[in-house]
Amino acid sequence: MILEITLFIAGALISWLITHCYYKKSLQNQESELSKQSNEWKKLIGDQIMNSKESLRLQYIEKATEEYKRAGTPARVIDTFNVSEGEKADIYDAVMMRCKGRLGENNKYRKPK
C-alpha cells in the first residue's frame, strides 16, 4: 500500500515536472515569436511613416510649384506648411530647381552662414 502511494506521488511529480518544462518552453517560444513579430511591425510602421512623410513633402513641392507659376514666388504657400525652417528651405530650393533650373538667389528660409 505504501509502495503504491509512493509510486503514485512519484508519477504525479514526474508528470508535473514534464508539464512544467513544456510550459516554460512554450512561454519562451511565445516570447521570441512576439518579439520577432513586434520588430517586423515596427519596421513596417516606420516604413509607412517615412513613405507618408516623403509623399507629403512631394505634395508640398507641387503646391509651391503651382504658386510659383501663379504668383512668381512660392513663399506664401510655403509659409503655410507645418514643417521646420530647414524643410521649408529644402522645399523652396526644390521648387526653384524645378521652375528655374537653378537655386534662387535668396532663400529666406535658409539661415545665412
Does residue 58 sit within a domain? Answer: yes
Q: What domain range includes position 81? A: 37-113
Question: How far is 89 from 50, CA to CA, in rounded Å?
Answer: 19
Rounded Cα–Cα distance for residues 95 and 80 (Å): 15
Number of compact structural domains in the chain: 1
pLDDT of residue 67: 93
In-domain check, residue 14: no
Q: Quick one: angle between helices 85-99 and 2-71, nearest 10?
A: 50
Q: Is the pLDDT of residue 68 over 80?
A: yes
Average pLDDT (92-113) is 84
In this prediction, residue 14 has a pLDDT band, given cuts at 50, 70 and 90, of very high
- Please check the confidence at residue 72 and state whether its pLDDT lies above 80: yes
Residue 21 lies in a domain: no
Residues, the chain, total? 113
- Give the closest residue to 88 by CA, choosing from 60, 46, 47, 48: 60
The mean pLDDT value of the chain amounts to 87
Q: Confirm whether 27 is domain-assigned.
A: no
The answer to whether the predicted template modeling score (pTM) of the entire model surpasses 0.85 is no
Res 61: pLDDT: 92
Q: Has residue 106 been placed in a domain? A: yes
